[in-house]
Amino acid sequence: MNAITKIAPQSIPELVPRGEPAHRIRTDAEAIAVARDLAREFSAGASQRDRERSLPLQEIERFSQSGLWAISVPKAYGGAGVSAATLAQVIAIISSADASIGQIPQNHFYMVEALRLDGSEEQKRFYFDRVLQGDRLGNALSEIGGKHASDYKTTILADGEDYVLNGQKFYSSGALFAHWIVAVAKNAEGKRTIVFVPRGTPGLTLVDDWSSFGQRTTGSGTTIFDAIRVDRFALVDHYKSFERPTPMGAVAQLIHAAVDLGIARAALSDTIAFVREKARPWVDSGLDNAYDDPYTISAIGDLTVRLSGAEALLERAGRFVDIATIEPENGHSEQASIAVAEAKVATNDVSLLATNKLFELAGTRSTLSELNLDRHWRNARTHTLHDPVRWKYHAIGNYWLNGIVPPRHGAI
């Protein structure tokens, strides 16, 4: 049994009670329309939530009740089974309104994909139905203190007819808002297993201790599993997703790329609004308006081109993922991973560039704390650290130069 670091439990917010089952979205077009409606709603309080670190409990309930959290459930199980490009577009739309809200369901969709790939028919029917009803799956994947990000100490071991889950996680994005905490643990053979744990299970502790300067309201803190007994039905052999060609990693990374794209869109939009409405021209320009400055115009043009390129690469990557979903063999899964890596490089770079250029082009007044425009840079800088982009370049170059296929894991 692993030693558990005891952390004094903090006050964990109660979930907003659910009334009726979640709305059932049927088409890709409906998913995008619903996302746009919600984005207008979520953007109104995004700055205040970030400033006060106010967890978006009501917003997350609206988000999942809208049906958007179930759009990747396959049609055969009652879901919309939307394309990967649509899923990415939905996340980008929400992230442009509030980047934290956009990131929170990333691991939910990851676990839906893990179920699709390796869940039993009984598990798929049960958990997919829960998702369609409006249940949210929270993340308990990463840990602190190991040799690397995949060096898990959390274990799931047989004990009689049941299994016992022990371990401690961090970066548990979305766990505070989840109905099910989904842990990644090693079984007796050291193989990766995911374990579905209902919220409120004895031995489960959620700690609201996420203190990053960015993505402040994702609830990405500590989760503790202390001798939690679970039935075999709660276990999915997740290692199988990486023992054969699958789009598992590509799906995960596509969503991360979409979050970065949404941040870049928000930053560019706020830059344009500030330059048009508040910025002053430089004294040597001889101009009456900041928006007539040729250097500012050129910079906005450059950002727009880079953003459009990132959008196109993300949409293209989604098409590759869709192909790999239908036919993962014959190199399609590897091609999807590379296409997504290319999109992730582009969205990573444009999110950092756009959030930095905001202040350069808008001027000193844009840094005032009451405007809180720095949240875009803080969110971009924090989220782009999720998986090092330098290794995306390496995977891309090695594939095209040397024909080396990328490794199989959730980060590529």
Does the domain at 28-136 match CATH 3.40.50.620? Answer given as no
Give domain limits for the chain: 28-136, 140-239, 244-402
The H or E element that residue 64 is part of is helix 57-65
Question: What's the pLDDT band for 11 if we cut at 50, 70, 90?
Answer: low
Question: What's the pLDDT band for 19 if we cut at 50, 70, 90?
Answer: confident
Q: What single-letter DSSP state applies at residue 66?
A: T
Give the range among 2-16, 259-273, 317-331 with minimum mean pLDDT.
Answer: 2-16
What Cα–Cα distance (Å) separates residue 361 from each residue in 185, 251, 283, 351?
47, 35, 14, 15
Express each pLDDT in 363-399 by its tens digit.
Answer: 999 999 999 999 999 999 999 999 999 999 999 999 9
Instruction: Identify the pLDDT of residue 145.
Output: 80
Strand 137-140 versus strand 180-186 pairing type: parallel
- Domain 244-402: assigned CATH number: 1.20.140.10
Give the range among 8-17, 285-294, 331-340, 390-399 with minimum mean pLDDT.
Answer: 8-17
Q: What is the mean pLDDT of residues 29-52?
A: 98
3-state secondary structure of 137: strand
What is the DSSP code string of 215-262? STTS---EEEEEEEEE-GGGEE-GGGGGTS--SHHHHHHHHHHHHHHH
Q: Per the CATH hierarchy, to which homologous superfamily does domain 140-239 belong?
A: Butyryl-CoA Dehydrogenase, subunit A, domain 2 (2.40.110.10)
What is the DSSP code string of 262-281? HHHHHHHHHHHHHHHHT---
pTM for this model (two decimals)? 0.95
- Number of residues in the chain: 412
Instruction: Identify the pLDDT of residue 59.
Output: 98
